[in-house]
Amino acid sequence: MSGPSSGCGFLMSVVVHGDLALSEQEKELNQRLRSLYPAVSDQETPLPRSWSPKDKFSYIGLSQNNLRVHYKGHGKTPKDAASVRATHSIPAACGVYYFEVKIISKGRDGYVKYMGIGLSAQGVNMNRLPGWDKHSYGYHGDDGHSFCSSGTGQPYGPTFTTGDVIGCCVNLINNTCFYTKNGHSLGIAFTDLPPNLYPTVGLQTPGEVVDANFGQHPFVFDIEDYMREWRTKIQAQIDCFPIGEREGEWQAMIQKMVASYLVHHSYCATAEAFAKSTDQAVHEELASIKNRQKIQKLVLSGRMGEAIETTQQLYPSLLERNSDLLFMLKVRQFIEMVNGTDSEVRCLGGRSPKSQDSYPGSPRLFNSPVHKASSSQTYQTSTYYIHKFFFSASIGKKNILQKSGLLHQKKTFLVPKSTCFLAAEVEMEVDHFSNGVSESSSNGFLNGSSTHGIDLEELDSAQSKRQLCGGSQAAIERMIQFGRELQSMSEHLRRERGKNSANKKMLKDAFSLLAYSDPWNSPVGYQLDSIQREPVCSTLNSAILETHNLPKQPPLALAVGQAAQCLSLMARTGSGSCAFASVDDYLH
């Protein structure tokens, strides 16, 4: 969930330390944190990774990448106590959070070994040991007592000293905390903990040294096992959640959701059969569903030109009123042209443009080896490639570059493959979902999904001989021309409706395909993947439905999206159980 950006903190700290061995440790830390706390968004709520050099009392010294703490005060009276907090508070989305502290040295002889390990809120006095003040909690080594926001401790566990590893586990589901000593759980120490606590350690004896482990190393205590127990508990809670007051209501609702979902995606045969067997009415005319199905089939098989044409025929005003949608469809058409799948380039390639039925399995009628050199898989600089490309196309390069307005594209290959989707996270989930279903139900071409499946297959088999626009010279020219039209459409749109960064980026990414000798294996090659047709397809479908005053999202997708949103809301409001209830777990 944390996405590709979760590595940011890691990259930054590598730069700071510039140490190879350290980067190994950081890598391990990142890996462990990700596997322990998959629900935590590191951008929103960063995890504690070290002690904070800013949030500490002056008697505290830090070393070893701010993981080692030593005491440098006098240590004579409790007034000499000193604490340090971790860099960040514990995110609720951890569900269960754990860190360990190893006692490296108990400090000089002749002193009472005051040493406290625990938690405190932001702002709690650092000239104190954890546990002594409000919103501060600690387990002390000298007497083994626990201190719950109070100067007097309660008997809790054994004492601890040099060599011992003390762990502190915060359960953000029931807001309790327990400690471990050398891998053994000591039992609940605190209940009713407030949110946003920081790992904290306090010392009061000269020579005291402790090391923290926030996940840099494997933990002595088996925290994963404890988390397993809670995951099971939460999932049992979800499974046993009481639903529906009256009998049958729940089932009827689910049937409704399934039916509406099938209709939405125009699986009309299935929808009809399902509605019949569950005794439901379908709220859309069959013809209308079939129309949508036809368009979707075209989009999903990459025949964008026909798809746009058909849409304009069946829903005359739709694309006129929705120029952004039209632009998106056209950009996709451009991509399909590059792919060699769009009808316009396919007909130029010698294929019958309307040979719909023979498309998936039909053998390629020709293979003009225009440039064999392109089989080289290595990336080349854009300037070089564009040069080569236009050279082999026997068109004056400068001329064409100017004409087609593609000159600026040479920079774009630096743009990393990243968050190109405007769609919110929820929509992503939906897409993913619909994807899974359509694939699994590919039992008849009526549902329009079989094309998709075969298409993928074809892509794979054609991997070695993939060529730009299907390899036809005329098609390439048509594609270039289409690109120019697209460019001007984009400029037109900008003049009419102001800047649209999404549109701009979309176009940029699409044009970037031309910057590589093998666009399919380039950093922007993902656009050519047939799976990218699906968001386009679903956006177009939603737009059509909206014109019919039907919901643009099926209720099922809405519910899934809502559940996902609810989980992230839970994470923000401090409900730890969200950690163990990923929506994905329920979408097999």
Partner 1 sequence: MMACLLEAPLRISVLSEVTATSRHYVDRLFDADPQNVLQGVIDMKNAVIGNNKQKANLIVLGAVPRLLYLLQQSSSSLELRTECAVVLGSLAMGTENNIKSLVDCHIIPALLQGLLCSDLIFIEACLRCLRTVFISPVTPVQLLYTDPTVIPHLMSLLSRSRHTQEYITQIFAHCCKTPEHQTVLFNHGAIQNIAPLLISPSDKVRMQALKCFSVLAYENTQVSMTLVNVLVDGEQLSQVFVRMMQRDKPIEMQLTAAKCLTYMCRAGAIRTDDNCIVLKTLPCLVRMCSKERLLEERVEGAETLAYLMEPDVELQRIASVTDHLVSMLADYFKYPSSVSAITDIKRLDHDLKHAHELRQAAFKLYASLGSNDEDIRKKITETENMMDRIVSGLSESSIKVRLAAVRCLHSLSRSVQQLRTSFHDHAVWKPLMKLLQNAPDEVLVMASSTLCNLLLEFSPSKEPILDSGVIELLCSLTQSDSPALRVNGIWALMNMAFQADQKVKVEIVRALGTEQLFRLLSDPDTNVLMKTLGLLRNLLSTRPHIDQIMSSHGKQIMQAVTLILEGEHSIEVKEQTLCILANIADGNTAKELIMTNDDMLQKIKYYMGHSNVKLQLAATFCISNLIWNEEDGSQERQDKLKDMGFVDILHKLTQASDPNLCDRAKTAMQQYLA
Residues that bind partner 1 (CB under 8 A): 157-158, 181, 183-188, 222, 225-226, 228-229, 231-232
Rounded Cα–Cα distance for residues 414 and 383 (Å): 12
Least separation in angstroms between residue 28's CB and partner 1 is 22
Q: Which is nearer to partner 1, 144 or 525 (CB)?
A: 144
Q: Which is nearer to partner 1, 140 or 181 (CB)?
A: 181
Q: Which is nearer to partner 1, 188 or 563 (CB)?
A: 188
Rounded Cα–Cα distance for residues 523 and 413 (Å): 7
Q: Which is nearer to partner 1, 234 or 406 (CB)?
A: 234
What is the edge-to-edge ordering of all strands in the sheet holding 68-71?
Answer: 60-63, 68-71, 208-213, 96-106, 165-171, 176-181, 184-190
Q: Which is nearer to partner 1, 177 or 335 (CB)?
A: 177
Structure tokens at 103: 């006692």
Least separation in angstroms between residue 135's CB and partner 1 is 24
Rounded Cα–Cα distance for residues 2 and 40 (Å): 7
Rounded Cα–Cα distance for residues 98 and 222 (Å): 10
* Contact predicate 71/203, CB 8 Å: yes
Q: Which is nearer to partner 1, 164 or 529 (CB)?
A: 164
Q: Which is nearer to partner 1, 75 or 157 (CB)?
A: 157
| 381 three-class SS | coil
Neighbour count for residue 315 (Cβ, 10 Å): 19
Least separation in angstroms between residue 183's CB and partner 1 is 5
* Contact predicate 379/473, CB 8 Å: no
Give the relative orientation of helices 397-404 and 473-497 as an angle to the nearest 10 degrees.
40
* Contact predicate 397/386, CB 8 Å: yes
Least separation in angstroms between residue 517's CB and partner 1 is 48
Least separation in angstroms between residue 580's CB and partner 1 is 11
Rounded Cα–Cα distance for residues 390 and 355 (Å): 31
Rounded Cα–Cα distance for residues 462 and 584 (Å): 33
Rounded Cα–Cα distance for residues 389 and 468 (Å): 10
Q: Which is nearer to partner 1, 153 or 340 (CB)?
A: 153
Q: Which is nearer to partner 1, 100 or 133 (CB)?
A: 100
Residue 526 neighbours by CB under 8 Å, 6+ apart: 417, 532
Q: Which is nearer to partner 1, 222 or 491 (CB)?
A: 222
Least separation in angstroms between residue 177's CB and partner 1 is 14
Give the relative orientation of helices 533-547 and 286-300 as an angle to the nearest 10 degrees.
160
Neighbour count for residue 5 (Cβ, 10 Å): 12
Structure tokens at 426: 């929820």
Least separation in angstroms between residue 221's CB and partner 1 is 9
Least separation in angstroms between residue 165's CB and partner 1 is 12
Neighbour count for residue 256 (Cβ, 10 Å): 15
Rounded Cα–Cα distance for residues 130 and 307 (Å): 66
Least separation in angstroms between residue 93's CB and partner 1 is 20
Least separation in angstroms between residue 37's CB and partner 1 is 18
Rounded Cα–Cα distance for residues 493 and 501 (Å): 12
